[in-house]
Structure 1
Amino acid sequence: MNYKFNEIKAIVAAAKKVFESESTLLEVRAPMIICGDIHGQFNDLINMFLLLGRPPTERYLFLGDYVDRGAMSLECIILLMCYKIQYPNSIYLLRGNHECARVCLRYGFGDEITNFFNHDQATFLWELFQRAFNQLPIAGLIDGKILCMHGGVSPVMETLDDIKAQKKPLKNPFRGIVNDMLWADPDTSISFWRTSARGSGFVFGDKVISETCRRCNIDLIVRAHQLVVDGFWVFADRQLMTIFSAPAYCNIYKNCGAALKVDSNLHCQLVAFVPNGPKVKEMIVERNHLWETIETAKNASAESEKPLPRPC
């Protein structure tokens, strides 16, 4: 997109004002379409809006990681910010770990801005984007029953009030509830907590999930943050779901993308976007499974062929 400096400046500044008006914990009503990582895959974002409907006809909650990895991060975040400015009650954007300066400076977004603009303009816009990212909400609660975030839960989060108590702007968090909710991952091999191999946040098991749902009086945790080959993955007796919305991720993986449609009665319907391939329809019918990598096929156990999430 042939963006002009003043256009980007005006859009990001206006979006920042909208984000400032929102709580750290968004409390929103269904119906809602929940989407996971986008990672600069602009064409897939456009296709998703074309297939599912665009704001304000449909209402969306995005779980973060709009930038980095893909080649069109700027296009993705600017489109989403424009929708937010125009229809603030029809689209909600949560913060992902890639909407932090130390991450998106390293994984592509900083370079993309530099390639678009001269040094002084790029520096100004980079700082303006970071100030906007620092105002993004960290979690969303749909009708009091579905808790959404980018990464996962935190060992220091006792109640939802602990999220509300985090005051924005949240500048490049390194530890605590905000950092954990941006970085944490579920782990099928443990029951409780362990330090994450990512170098930030924690991993948590099924006992943590069930206890968090009981303590916070919620039915479901929806998060993103990890590539899953089917575009979705459920864990802990369906109390936690991972959603990943970037199909054929980075043009390397043969993964599906997915979105979760939640109606006004909190009934959930998964929608998957399946990359084209030989006999893909037959495979879905035969295996009741959307996609698999060669690695998954080789290592599939007799008990289950569902692949575990990959870090993202």
Structure 2
Amino acid sequence: MAEEEGIALKKEASNVDTAREARSKPTRSVKRDRAVAVHKMKYSKEEYENVIYEAQTVFASEKALVDIDPPCIVVGDLHGQFNDLINMFILLGRPPDTVYVFTGDYVDRGMMSLECIMLLFTYKILYPENIILLRGNHEIARVNKKYGFYDECLQSIPKIGEEIWAMFQRCFNNLPISALIATKILCMHGGLSPSLITLDDLRRHSKPIRNPFRGIVNDMLWADPDPSVFEWKTSARGSGFVFGTNVIDDVCARLGVELIIRAHQMCFDGYWVVSGKKLITIFSAPMYCNLYKNAACVLKVDETLGIQMVAFVPESPKVEQIIEEKNRVWDTSFDCIE
């Protein structure tokens, strides 16, 4: 079934010219099917050009802040784990029947970043209202040139890999930065910014945004929560800030939102909740890089803004014990700018 998905993508590409926690539902666990495998795809230069051009046109028409209505599924980091993306679509549904908000980091680290981004771009072209693709810090040229995507392009696309990589960067510059679900749930890749005063600061932000390195956009791609910090502190990542729970409370009250959903940090149990359930971190790449026995998680948001956590648990001996013992967010130094 997963191979059929890859074949279908090839055909499609060729044709392209916790808010209200009282009502939250229990976590649903899904065992990760390690038997499903998808081979790497081979696209022509024309297919890459068509998909990237059409996707960039759609992204350019979107504001930096995208408004969306529930129900939808919010997804964290993917990092080139194409098999897990396919499993997610098989288990939870595909666009346009299921609406998705992806919070960035589609590329780098994993072995199939090209397949991930081409599939997601194709869905975006076909169903622009049913899939939202936000920008992550790995959708920045200086980052994905260092952490794997650039090398994958060179190796997988002989002779024109650097040209195609550069085309992807121009497209990434047009990705929206944040999504607002029913005016109450704010989604982004990284976190908050001291420059974020009102949501109009995002709505009015111009695009394309080339190589952000300071300011509201950069902060929202790189920032992390830290309960030990009182307000703001410079991030050890080398870009953006870490922020305390009082900042979360203040921003939610000032912006009129009830929940912040973000990604950016690997969580051993797939999610991490802080500040009285006003902020949830999710990570959607199980068995990250085939080095860690972490679970993954996505959030299902229903029409009433009830939240259901769907966990993808890898098949592994004592995995639940390992997750429980290492129930923490990964060290920020794992992903930094030098």
Could you tell me the TM-score, scaled by structure 2's length?
Answer: 0.84
Contact 2:265/2:329 (<8 A) preserved: no
Contact 2:286/2:312 (<8 A) preserved: yes
Cα deviation code 1:147-190 (max 9, x no counterpart): 00000010111111111121000001000000000000000211
Cα distance in 1 between the residues matched to 2:45 and 2:293: 36
Give, as a single letter, the amino acid of the residue that structure 2 aligns with 1:225: H
Q: Does 1:307 align with 2:298?
A: no
Cα distance in 2 between the residues matched to 1:178 and 1:23: 13
Counterpart of 1:287 in structure 2 is none
Q: Does 1:89 align with 2:129?
A: yes
Q: Does 1:51 align with 2:91?
A: yes
Contact 2:63/2:204 (<8 A) preserved: no
Cα distance in 2 between the residues matched to 1:250 and 1:279: 19
Cα deviation code 1:207-261 (max 9, x no counterpart): 0000000000000000000000111110000000001000000011110011000
The alpha carbon displacement at 1:278 in A equals 2.3
Give, as a single letter, the amino acid of the residue that structure 1 aligns with 2:323: W
Give, as a single letter, the amino acid of the residue that structure 2 aligns with 1:275: P
Give, as a single letter, the amino acid of the residue that structure 2 aligns with 1:148: C
Give, as a single letter, the amino acid of the residue that structure 2 aligns with 1:308: V
Contact 1:228/1:310 (<8 A) preserved: no
The alpha carbon displacement at 1:307 in A equals 1.9
Q: Does 1:184 align with 2:231?
A: no
Contact 1:27/1:142 (<8 A) preserved: yes
- Listed as ranges, the matches of 1:36-185 within 5 Å are 36-119=76-159, 121-185=160-224
The alpha carbon displacement at 1:273 in A equals 0.1
Contact 1:37/1:64 (<8 A) preserved: yes
Counterpart of 1:30 in structure 2 is 70
SS of residue matched to 1:227: coil
Contact 2:190/2:223 (<8 A) preserved: yes
SS of residue matched to 1:226: coil
Alignment match of 1:291 (pick from 308, 319, 323): 323
The alpha carbon displacement at 1:117 in A equals 2.2
Counterpart of 1:299 in structure 2 is none
Q: For the structure 1 residues 308 and 122, does the alpha-carbon distance in structure 2 shift closer, same or farther, using more than 3 Å as the test?
A: closer
Aligned residues: 293
Contact 1:36/1:63 (<8 A) preserved: yes
Query: Percentage identity across aligned positions?
Result: 57
SS of residue matched to 1:98: helix
Contact 1:255/1:292 (<8 A) preserved: no
Could you tell me the TM-score, scaled by structure 1's length?
Answer: 0.91
Structure 2 spans left out of the alignment, 5+ residues: 1-40
Cα distance in 1 between the residues matched to 2:293 and 2:156: 30
SS of residue matched to 1:203: strand
Cα deviation code 1:105-135 (max 9, x no counterpart): 111101111112233x223212210110000
Counterpart of 1:210 in structure 2 is 249
The alpha carbon displacement at 1:308 in A equals 3.3
Cα distance in 2 between the residues matched to 1:8 and 1:38: 20
Q: For the structure 1 residues 7 and 175, does the alpha-carbon distance in structure 2 shift closer, same or farther, using more than 3 Å as the test?
A: same
Counterpart of 1:248 in structure 2 is 287
Cα distance in 2 between the residues matched to 1:310 and 1:260: 23
Contact 2:173/2:208 (<8 A) preserved: yes
Contact 2:73/2:101 (<8 A) preserved: yes
Tell me which of the two structures has the higher relative contact order, counting C-alpha pairs closer than 8 angstroms and 6 or more residues apart.
Answer: 2
Give, as a single letter, the amino acid of the residue that structure 2 aligns with 1:191: F
The alpha carbon displacement at 1:291 in A equals 1.9
Structure 1 spans left out of the alignment, 5+ residues: 285-289, 297-305
Coordinate RMSD, CA, aligned: 1.3
The alpha carbon displacement at 1:55 in A equals 0.6
Contact 2:212/2:218 (<8 A) preserved: yes
